[in-house]
Structure 1
Amino acid sequence: MPPSVDHVRSVTEAYLARHPEERHSLTLLFAALAGTDAPTSRKTYPAHVTCSAILIDGDQRVLHIVHKASGKLLAPGGHNEPVDRHLRDAALRELHEEAGIPPSAVVPLSGYEDVPLDIDVHTIDANPSKDEPTHHHVDFRWAFHLGAEHAVTLQEEEVDGYKWRPFATAASPTVRAKLALLT
């Protein structure tokens, strides 16, 4: 069973308790939560929830992968699936699928066990081959430490490469800013 509306709302409110200045930027998320469609369904438009894993290694670097579809260097992540009971579960599943790092090799960033490090809203271009209009992803970005050495094994269908980047050069400006507060 995918994450419930109540779960998404609860996680969002816990996040906003830390970042109340971001409430306005989550207008599309609140509209999705008030709608009749599941907010975590990839077919919910104009916006739906996705999840990413911000994986930090022992050298204070963040794992980025090159998504084949966009060519962009991003954190491992994607859409929620029916097996994901909680939002964090989706981030862990995507990390395992795209980078080959199992949940047993990571630990949540201290203080962020139940709250994402960041929530970002970004536009996704229309994809006529998938019958998808232009829409928005509301990406819940969960932070983890690589708890045990583990090699990155890329999912060849979706991922072209990877790179470990220092906090100061993380691809997302909002993640970069929040990581800077941790050092």
Structure 2
Amino acid sequence: MTPEQADAELAAVHPRDAAQAALREVLRERLARFPGHGGSGSGGSFAGSALDRDGTSEHLTTTAFVFERSGRRTALVAHRRLGMWLQPGGHLEPGDASFAAAARREAAEETGLGGLLELALGGMPLDVQRHELATSYGRCTAHLDVAHVFVVPDGSPLVVSEESEGLAWFAVDDLPDGTAPDLPPRLALASALLRA
């Protein structure tokens, strides 16, 4: 995925409110400002762009909200470095064809659900978010995150990865202590959309 392709994906998103619209424009501005070593208008390469984890202090990332098909339970990862429960997700890689493809790859790596993951909500992102990072992350100060929703059959077994301290299914209305503060309303929204 190039910065131009990423921008086209974001341009196609219909934000649900003014705050989401403003944040989407922050992500698009970042892509325009850091197009990669290929330069703007020439297909800009991934390296050095706002998609590259080593390219800028604030770069785009991807998230996967993984739900059982019923929409009642979600898979959360105990993040080793942050010490909290989060949705699967991470950095984009040069071979990722889209934000959704990157989110699927991250979810497969972190949950072991692989081929069971089915993109939901018509393939459109649930939302975009900006996450400030602790100083322990070095030069990286924020993640600008694009979130997609996936479903799997109810009761699908999870396989924890080496990156995480734990992995489990949780009811959306009964999340564990230590859940990231912005997560409950986002999960509630995703669950409601899945069950609508």
Q: For 1:53-132, what aligned pairs fall within 5 Å after superposition?
A: 53-59=64-70, 60-102=72-114, 104-109=115-120, 111-113=121-123, 115-127=124-136, 132=138
Deviation string, structure 1 residues 20-78 (Cα, Å, up to 9, x no partner): 41222345413311213312100232311111111111442111000111111001110
Question: Does 2:55 align with 1:44?
Answer: yes
Aligned to 1:137: 143
Aligned to 2:160: 154
Q: With a CA cutoff of 8 Å and minimum separation of 6, indicate the structure with the bigger relative contact order.
A: 1
- Displacement of 1:159 in angstroms is 0.4
Rounded Cα–Cα distance in structure 2 between residues aligned with 1:120 and 1:44: 19
Report the RMSD for the aligned CA atoms in angstroms: 2.2
Rounded Cα–Cα distance in structure 1 between residues aligned with 2:100 and 2:81: 23
- Specify the code of the residue in structure 1 equivalent to 2:89: G
Q: Give 5+ residue unaligned stretches, structure 1.
A: none
TM-score, normalized by length of structure 1? 0.82
Identical residues among aligned pairs (%) = 23
- The alpha-carbon distance between structure 1 residues 51 and 169, as it changes in their structure 2 partners (threshold 3 A), is farther
Q: Give 5+ residue unaligned stretches, structure 2.
A: 37-48
* 1:31 counterpart SS class: helix
Structure with larger Rg: 2
- Displacement of 1:173 in angstroms is 4.1
- Specify the code of the residue in structure 2 equivalent to 1:51: T
- The alpha-carbon distance between structure 1 residues 149 and 47, as it changes in their structure 2 partners (threshold 3 A), is same
- Specify the code of the residue in structure 2 equivalent to 1:35: R
- Specify the code of the residue in structure 1 equivalent to 2:78: V
- Specify the code of the residue in structure 2 equivalent to 1:97: E
Aligned to 2:170: 165
Rounded Cα–Cα distance in structure 1 between residues aligned with 2:98 and 2:172: 27
